[in-house]
Structure 1
Amino acid sequence: MTKKIINIRNANPAEFKEIGYLMVEVYSKLEGFPTHKEQPEYYELLLNIGDLTKRPKTELIVAVSDEEEVMGALVYFSDMSYYGSGGTATKEKNASGFRLLAVDPDYRGIGIGKQLTIACIEKAKNDQNEQLIIHSTRYMKVAWIMYENLGFKRSEDLDFMQGQLPVYGFRLKL
């Protein structure tokens, strides 16, 4: 595969459906991750990911190739009260967060997830927040390692259970 130019930007509404399908594809293929039958509301959230942009201070960020191919995406929150997770994260002040990072399997290993994460770090700084909060699971170890390499630290106070799934909190001091 030839090297693609990666552009990070806000997703266009015309891309929301494609991004939703990508989210479902990526999360449903995580080994050991809850299935659609086990957590139908979660998969509904993924499929309709564009709906999250109706919340204030919420952006669907996409990585696209120079040919406008969707390579990956995530949801960024400049105010944690709109983050929508379990646990205490939505009560964090002076904090941004992102959730639901997904990279198309055809584009893994070329830094898409890292570039999306770095874009969120820059957004959080521009929003003059003091920290960036994220969550991960043990089924997302590749992302987990990337987050730690970027300086995120485990924050057990942000952990919660999503049904039977333990979800682990991380924060990056800005």
Structure 2
Amino acid sequence: MNLHNEPFLIREAKSKEFEETGKMMVGVYSGLKGFPQPEDFPQYYDLLLHIGRLTEKPKTSLLIASDNNKAVLGAVVYLGDMSNYGSKGLATQEKNAAGIRFLAVSPNARGLGIGKALTFACIQKAKDSGLAQVILHTTLTMMTAWKMYEKMGFQRAYELDFDQGDLHVFGFRLLL
């Protein structure tokens, strides 16, 4: 999907791109100031490194932004069934909802609108599936994304908050 002549294309990742995407995600998340490092959350980073495995779950897609050279510039996991969302808290019990997880944009591609385009693609998938809402989580270390989500109409869903060790995770909801 390339609606506005962006220098990138949003599409589903091919299996041969899973490894590159996972490495990009590990680099992005481990580079967030104040975010737990791989030694703090080894299972989380293993999940990121092998992000393609999530596509084995029903109604789950790994969307990427790629440039003309086919390089992965950003990625996000779309979950069309919240029972597969895989977080703590109440989010997995949400009905008639889609989830967005693990949004990441490569540092060399920031400022191009990739995060917004990936999020919009997930919202569109949820709408196309007839779902009533989209759920996501973020942290204080991800304020750039947090502000973007709010500008896109997501609202805080305090009942979806949870703690992952010492990290407080904040829930958001967009009604469609």
TM-score tier by shorter-chain length is: over 0.9
Residues 124 and 4 (structure 1), Cα distance of their counterparts in 2 relative to 1, 3 Å cut: closer
Q: Quick check: 1:171 aligned with 2:173?
A: yes
> What is the identity, as a one-letter code, of the residue corresponding to 1:45?
L
Q: Which of 99, 104, 118 does residue 102 from structure 1 map onto?
A: 104
2:60 alignment counterpart = 58
1:8 alignment counterpart = 10
Identity %: 55
**Structure 1 spans left out of the alignment, 5+ residues:** none
1:130-151 C-alpha deviation (Å, 9 max, x unpaired): 0000000000000000000000
Aligned pairs (5 A) from 1:1-174: 5-174=7-176
Once residues 150 and 133 of structure 1 are traced to their aligned partners in structure 2, the CA distance between those partners, rounded to angstroms, is 13
Tell me by how many angstroms 1:67 deviates: 2.3
Once residues 156 and 147 of structure 2 are traced to their aligned partners in structure 1, the CA distance between those partners, rounded to angstroms, is 11
Once residues 109 and 89 of structure 1 are traced to their aligned partners in structure 2, the CA distance between those partners, rounded to angstroms, is 30
TM-score by length of 2: 0.96
Q: Secondary structure at the match of 1:21?
A: helix
Once residues 11 and 70 of structure 2 are traced to their aligned partners in structure 1, the CA distance between those partners, rounded to angstroms, is 11
> What is the identity, as a one-letter code, of the residue corresponding to 2:81?
D
Stretch of structure 1 that moved more, 61-70 or 20-29: 61-70
TM-score by length of 1: 0.97
CA contact (8 A) 1:76 1:99 kept: yes
CA contact (8 A) 1:4 1:65 kept: no
Stretch of structure 1 that moved more, 95-104 or 63-72: 63-72
Q: Secondary structure at the match of 2:173?
A: strand
Tell me by how many angstroms 1:5 deviates: 2.2
> What is the identity, as a one-letter code, of the residue corresponding to 2:109?
Y
Once residues 4 and 114 of structure 1 are traced to their aligned partners in structure 2, the CA distance between those partners, rounded to angstroms, is 12
Once residues 54 and 70 of structure 1 are traced to their aligned partners in structure 2, the CA distance between those partners, rounded to angstroms, is 20
- Structure 1 segments, 4+ long, off by >2 Å, are none
> What is the identity, as a one-letter code, of the residue corresponding to 1:57?
K
